[in-house]
Chain A
């Protein structure tokens, strides 16, 4: 019976090709816009999330403003923070600015940052060539530097900078590595930076404290607890002064960004869903016309033994068929639009199964909802009146 109904629906759609297509158009547009919008927003979200994730989700950044009495963290403070659970490593930053010189070429006001080996371990892609700063450099306060790509190009044009001298703040350093050009979204671009061991920086840059600290986590699931623990340590370090420091959790930021984007895609899908409703009304209209045209047929089927349920089922299936068929067309159109759009915008294209299920499920529901009334009307036709109408 079900198979028979599907076959009859198909035949009816084929017989009225143009009308069926126009009827389905509403659903096609609705589903296509839902698929396209969700996919494009999803693609953009994923791309941006990936960029941000590349900066480190397992990282909590502590920025210290300090108090008049204590302007930053000392090495001892850092060790206290290292006692907190769930920490795999700490990467301090000693901020400095200095002129750097190589063979008479001067570059002014370059950010020279003191960092440690953890910084390089946290992201293996940081280093483009040479070697990173290691524990030995830190312990013996070696005069070594890892330089950003732009600096390598500017000062050592055409040369391999590794092994060459670099004058920083009046002292001679040896270049041991170069940094990979960092991403566009990076808040701290490394392209124009020089990185030296932080112990060396504390001694020779004239900066006596650590202004920021990247804390790497063992398990990001307990990030909130770790943040609380670090806060407690910092709180006592700065003698319970407010605003002496701020803690920035990258994972939190990504989460709130993603939830914002998913709200946005829901909103867009909601707007697109309106056209699905309009499409549903189109289907209802076509079904009503179709029932009027087929009154005799319905009467005959009833005379031959079709129960009201059977008739209702047949017409609901026809409505669902129309809407799902429209949904499938919309899926194809929407995917194409999304595919082209993501290429143009330059974000990744991936259609989620849940998106497809949502669109098709929604169009099926539209079919049921808007097919119900016409189908019920058909099932209630009096066979005598229906047969007489010929």
Chain B
């Protein structure tokens, strides 16, 4: 298995006025293709910061981060945007679908930034929506979809660019138990098909669906093998 994500001695600190607060302390993390990793931690543990750095929304204060061969610390804002578009598929807690766009248009959105033609975008968005079981909801607006369906559209949007990693932030946080479980089943299924998934959560029951669980507490990572 190839290493697609490699973090070495990553630290991140913020300034609160004069005071420097270190949120991540010399974090090391390696993810290989086909992994399903849960980053488990309570709020304030630094897991959001981890997610921002993994997703290339933010850069570390020190350390080395390699994602799919890109040296993220070396990239500027424009190159980071390209890496996000190509390598990372985001799934957010609150779905973050654009309310005035249909499911189809929402899924097409990242492909617009890839620069694909309209017909190619439609073709890809359609096939991914079909695969995820929403073939009959393509013309619906997010408000006309249930929470579970909305999250599936969001997952389709994350997958449509064929990203290296699927990065999910509390994907079941806004869903009830049953639909949450269905979303987790979908994740497991995607992982079985070879998709690399990193999931950030505070819920141990959700983390249990992953193959690897990495605990994060006060900016330190600890990993225990599961199964």
| A binding-site residues for B, Cβ under 8 Å | 1, 4, 11, 15, 296-297, 300-310, 383-384, 387, 390
Contact = CB atoms under 8 A, between A and B. Distances in A.
By secondary structure, the A interface counts as helix
Interface stretch (B22-30, B108-116, B198-206): B108-116
Contacts of B55: 303
Contacts of B57: 302-303, 383-384, 387
Contacts of B135: none
A301 B84 contact: no
Contact of A302 (B81, B86, B94, B98): B81
A1 to B, nearest CB: 7
B81 A306 contact: yes
Contacts, number: 57
A387 B92 contact: yes
Contacts of B96: 296, 300, 387, 390
Nearest to B97: A300
B78 interface: yes
A305 B52 contact: no
A305 B94 contact: no
Contacts of A4: 112
A15 to B, nearest CB: 6
B58 to A, nearest CB: 6
B85 interface: yes
B19 interface: no
B166 to A, nearest CB: 13
Contact of B58 (A15, A305, A310, A384): A384
Interface in B157-190: 157, 161
B85 A304 contact: yes
B109 A307 contact: no
A15 B100 contact: yes
A302 B98 CA distance: 13
Most buried by B among A297, A305, A309: A305
B86 A305 contact: yes
B139 interface: no
Most buried by B among A296, A301, A308, A310: A301
Given A297-B98, A384-B52, A390-B94, A307 B115 contact: no
Contacts of A310: 81, 113
A311 B161 CA distance: 20
Given A15-B100, A384-B52, A1 B112 contact: yes
A308 B109 contact: no
B90 interface: yes
A307 B157 CA distance: 18
B77 interface: yes
B82 interface: yes
A306 B112 CA distance: 9
Given A307-B77, A308-B77, A384-B58, A300 B82 contact: no
A46 B112 CA distance: 52
B79 to A, nearest CB: 9
A304 B90 contact: yes
Contacts of A387: 57, 92, 96
A304 B109 contact: yes
Nearest to A307: B81
Nearest to A297: B98
B114 A305 contact: yes
A305 B78 contact: no
